[in-house]
Amino acid sequence: MTTTRTRVAIIGGGPAGLLLARHLQLAGHETVILERQTREYVMARVRAGVLEWGTVELLRSLGVGERMDREGFVHDGVGLAFSERQIRVDFKGLVQRSVMVYGQTEVTKDLYAALDAHGTVIIDEVDDVVPHDIATNAPFVTYTKVGVQHRIDCDYIAGCDGYHGVSRAAIPSAVLHQYEREYPFGWLGILSETPPVDHELIYAHHERGFALCSMRHATLSRYYVQCPLDDDVGDWSDDRFWDELSQRLPEQVAARLVTGPSIEKSIAPLRSFVVEPLRHGRLFLAGDAGHIVPPTGAKGLNLAMSDVHYLARGLIDALSGRSTTGLDEYSKVALARVWQAVRFSWWMTTLLHRFPDTGDFGVRIQEAELAHLARSEAARAAMAEVYVGLPL
């Protein structure tokens, strides 16, 4: 077994792990990132693309926002479609902030480039990653690479390896309190090389189910329709998808829809999931390792970014010998923001989807809530405030 040492061992080479390494890199602290997949796999993953304005400013402050500012799309609002009408929630006018449409894949590319330029160690295609002695002052991580076992001694371990990763499982079950809700439907999503139907996102509430019109850039569109969890993606031809989407949009929106072959198609389940605390000893959870939100509110990536913001601040203080207060308060501070995003994502999901057990009463409540949003500037401002992102 080979043994090396670093200040922080980061498990997971997605956006959360890469962003944490960038924070620490700029502060002069060494890290090692362990990633189970190949870099090509990580770079090819299709993920969300709506960045809160706080995330935009955070990426800029870390020197990885240049391409985002050049190629991203600033959105000053979103559309809500229901009852054959469409209203606009004007972010800029209501709360003086916007969001940026810039894919998670692109954020990942920018972070990789910055870390590579400064020699941060990123080890891909690792197996059997295990955190050890996390409740002591001398934690370490073991892993296997091409059949050879390795050990990394460190001061702290950051678990940024997602919902199915090993980090959360390393914390004793008696320590963790788990909160979860699984939703009784999924999202069928496609990616197509077609111009978006609108210059801003459109969320649609319809008797046939929810739909979302999104985009990655001017010639790459991302669309979703609510579907049963047990649907087989193979049963959804492109023609069937486009027909279903068209029926769920207002007539004037559907008339603008440009269809074409899909280049990616998948069905994703929806869940709300949070564990508390996000720390045990010298192991810290960030991003999907500690919480999952349905994509309706566009919060998943942004929550990972805010977790890392708080964690990096605490780690830098501790590693510099100044204070451990930031680490001691990390879980409490991060979870306060997490629960606000969980509430918002639950509200958006409950408002816009068809649930099998709510009946006519539930539908009329949804319609009344949407009518309230259309009528009340205060209600739209409350939605806009959280959508663009609460302060870090």
Catalytic residue positions, numbered: 75, 203, 295, 299, 387
Distances (CA, A) of 212 to 48, 166, 248: 12, 33, 9
Give the relative orientation of helices 325-352 and 359-375 as an angle to the nearest 10 degrees. 110
Task: Name the strands in the sheet holding 8-11, side by side, starting at the edge strand that comes first in the sequence.
Answer: 121-123, 31-34, 8-11, 156-159, 283-285, 279-280
Residue of 168, 132, 137, 166 lying closest to 152 (CA atoms): 132
Tokens at 205, concatenated: 């509430």
Cα 283–11–387 angle (5° rounding)?
Answer: 85
Say if residues 315 and 8 touch (Cβ distance below 8 Å).
yes
Say if residues 101 and 216 touch (Cβ distance below 8 Å).
yes
Query: Judging by DSSP bridges, how do beta strands 99-101 and 50-51 pair with one another?
Result: antiparallel
Residues 283 and 136: their CA atoms lie apart, in Å, by 10
Residue of 275, 282, 271, 287 lying closest to 173 (CA atoms): 275
Which is it for the CA torsion 246, 249, 252, 253, positive or negative?
negative
Taking the CB of residue 293, how many other CB atoms lie within 10 A of it?
26
Amino acid at 307: D
Residues 294 and 243: their CA atoms lie apart, in Å, by 25
Partners of 87 in beta bridges: 80
In eight-state DSSP terms, residue 296 is G
- 3-state class (DSSP) for residue 111: helix
* DSSP percent split of the chain into helix, strand, coil, nearest 5: 40, 30, 30
Sequence-distant (≥ 6) Cβ neighbours of residue 60 within 8 angstroms: 68, 69
Residue of 349, 341, 388, 378 lying closest to 366 (CA atoms): 349
